[in-house]
């Protein structure tokens, strides 16, 4: 019976994936499945082999501490690489800031163990609870996003939509966007070989520092590599991912009300784009193209922050409960 919560969460996860695999709730259910299953295993082990369970608990504490230190070092190192290669924009500082936050959390924990003040204990307990909640959601996001990227595509699609990502020098397609376009070209070819030639929608408007809309530069890139110009539709009004998807949806509904589509973006962005597409009522799934390894940590953190903000009411409510719990600990102390 100790495994019943894990089995229930796994059943709900399977149902959720079958209904719509683009739901963030699926990621949370998968995480809860693993958490409850691990807790049940530890409970069973403690009941049957108490000494082994104790030793395993000590080993896990040591491994977690070493893992946090290693992760902090990795994030800080990656953040410095991002600043050197990509500049000091807020998005490029995310991995560096995350690493520094972990260092600060470790410092706070050590100070609490040494000083043991009532206020310090309450602050540390609150910080650890918040870090645990955010860390759990982040792990759920990373694992499920990885799984989502490996689910099979539909065999039929009427449209392939490529999301824009900015131009270099106001007119040139950068490597990040080129990887999306190359993947879209390959996906279009695979779908065409199955009997139907879908229309390819390049989606992206013109920014203040760009000489032409992103969608036009994207179309020119594809045509220059042999893609048929007659199969390209340009969506040139959007400025954000949400607008990319919404305006492309308008084009698809107008041309074919019962459409199916495949949306192409970079691998780190695929799951959030899928969640956005579901919320916008788009009938289709998202595939990702390769991204430079050094770029991934900050990009994945940025996507998680955006998803966290998407469900901000729920997350802020839970964070408020954590703060109230910290205040309760302070009062009891």
Give the model confidence (pLDDT) of 206-239 as tens digits.
888 888 999 999 999 999 999 999 999 999 999 9
For residue 138, name the pLDDT band (cuts at 50, 70, 90): very high
For residue 169, name the pLDDT band (cuts at 50, 70, 90): confident
What strands lie across the sheet with 261-266, from one edge to the other?
A: 232-235, 199-203, 159-163, 261-266, 284-289
Alpha helices in the chain (DSSP H): 4-19, 24-48, 50-86, 94-115, 118-148, 175-192, 214-224, 241-255, 270-279, 296-310, 312-332
* Angstrom distance (rounded) from CA 320 to CA 333: 20
Look up the pTM and report it: 0.89
* Angstrom distance (rounded) from CA 268 to CA 295: 9
pLDDT of amino acid 124: 87
For residue 132, name the pLDDT band (cuts at 50, 70, 90): very high
Q: Which residue has the higher pLDDT, 329 or 307?
A: 307
Tell which residue, 224, 247, 86, has the closest CA to residue 163: 247
201 close to 160: Cβ distance less than 8 angstroms: yes
What the block records as the tokens of 217 is: 């530069």
What the block records as the tokens of 216 is: 């036009």
127-131, 205-209, 296-300: which range is least confident on average?
205-209
């Amino acid at each position: 019976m100790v495994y019943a919560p894990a089995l229930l969460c796994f059943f709900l996860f399977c149902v959720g994936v079958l209904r719509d695999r683009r739901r963030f709730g699926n990621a949370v259910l998968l995480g809860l499945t693993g958490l409850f299953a691990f807790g049940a295993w530890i409970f069973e082990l403690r009941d049957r082999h108490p000494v082994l369970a104790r030793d395993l608990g000590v080993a896990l504490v040591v491994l977690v501490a070493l893992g946090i230190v290693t992760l902090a070092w990795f994030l800080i190192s990656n953040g410095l690489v991002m600043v050197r290669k990509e500049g000091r924009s807020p998005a490029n500082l995310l991995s560096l800031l995350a690493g520094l936050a972990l260092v600060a959390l470790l410092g706070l924990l050590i100070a609490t163990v040494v000083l043991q003040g009532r206020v310090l204990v309450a602050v540390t307990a609150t910080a650890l609870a918040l870090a645990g909640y955010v860390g759990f959601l982040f792990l759920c996001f990373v694992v499920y996003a990885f799984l989502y990227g490996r689910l099979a595509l539909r065999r039929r699609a009427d449209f392939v939509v490529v999301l824009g990502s900015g131009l270099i020098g106001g007119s040139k397609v950068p490597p990040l966007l080129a990887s999306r376009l190359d993947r879209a070209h390959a996906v279009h070819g695979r779908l065409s070989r199955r009997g139907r030639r879908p229309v390819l929608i390049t989606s992206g408007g013109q920014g203040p520092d760009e000489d032409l809309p992103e969608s036009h530069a994207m179309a020119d890139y594809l045509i220059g590599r042999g893609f048929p110009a007659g199969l390209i539709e340009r969506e040139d009004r959007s400025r954000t991912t949400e607008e990319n998807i919404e305006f492309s949806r308008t084009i698809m509904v107008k041309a074919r009300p019962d459409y199916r589509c495949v949306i192409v973006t970079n691998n780190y962005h695929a799951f959030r784009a899928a969640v956005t597409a579901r919320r916008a009522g788009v009938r289709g799934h998202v595939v990702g193209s390769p991204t430079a390894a050094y770029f991934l940590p900050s990009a994945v953190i940025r996507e998680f922050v955006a998803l966290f903000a998407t469900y901000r009411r729920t997350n802020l409510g839970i964070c408020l409960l954590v703060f109230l719990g910290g205040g309760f600990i302070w009062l009891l102390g």
